[in-house]
Amino acid sequence: MRRFAWVVGLAWAVGACTPMVPERVRLYAEDGVHLYHRGSYAEARDSFQAALTLLPTDANLIFNVGQCNDQLGQFDRAEALYRDCLARAPEHAECRHALTVLLHKRGKRADALANIDDWFRRAPNKPGPYAEHGWLLQQDGDRGAAQRRFQEALAIDPRNNLALIELARHYEATDRPNRALVLYERAVEFNPNQPAVAQQIALLRAKGATRPKPD
């Protein structure tokens, strides 16, 4: 099952840093994003790590370094970085998902569920934990329960990216490509920098999927 991955956007809390630091951080981080999307994960990690040296407590940078280690197969290091990111930013949705995926991939389902339960305790009225639990249920093959979780997430926030994408994939798997197309398009409308999702939209259209007509 395809995983749509992303690196978080560049949003830095500069604080009391010297005037030269923010520009240097931005340049390192932009270079890291470019290298990551090119598949040069080791070089991207070096760029993010250079930025992190200048802003050592920035959760986004910690997450990005973790993503690079994850892609390079250095899973222990990636897990440690994800947990460090969440210790600083407990509602960091991309990091929550990355950690859930990594734990599931390593056969640590109980730990993955504990990560989601912790998020539910911290943010019971936010869409993130509902979408995350849906993702885990979907990996278990419980598509009905997963669908309900995604719908619960979207009832709270119709823009939730993970719920939109995973519910679209659910519709693809159950032979409802038109409904999948609508959700993929909505995900890209709200979060344009998702080339894998854009590619899936093009594939569905090439196969004849269209937006459902109004009743």
Mean pLDDT within 65-77: 95
Return the minimum-mean-pLDDT range out of 5-9, 40-44, 142-146: 5-9
Q: How high does pLDDT run on average in the chain?
A: 89
**Residue 143 reports pLDDT greater than 70:** yes
Q: How many residues does the chain have?
A: 215
Mean pLDDT within 130-156: 96
pLDDT digits over 166-204, tens only?
999 999 999 999 999 999 999 999 988 888 899 999 999
**Residue 49 reports pLDDT greater than 50:** yes
Contacts of 30 (CB under 8 A, 6+ apart): 10
pTM across the whole model: 0.85
**Residue 37 reports pLDDT greater than 90:** no
Residue ranges of alpha helices (H) inside the chain are 20-38, 41-54, 59-71, 75-88, 93-105, 109-122, 127-140, 143-156, 161-173, 177-190, 195-206
**Residue 9 reports pLDDT greater than 80:** no
Asked whether the beta carbons of 200 and 184 are under 8 A apart, the reply is: yes
Return the minimum-mean-pLDDT range out of 1-5, 46-50, 100-104, 129-133: 1-5
Phi and psi dihedrals of 41, rounded to 5?
-70, -35
Alpha carbon distances (Å) from 130 to 121, 135, 147, 163, 166: 12, 9, 10, 8, 12
Mean pLDDT within 32-56: 93
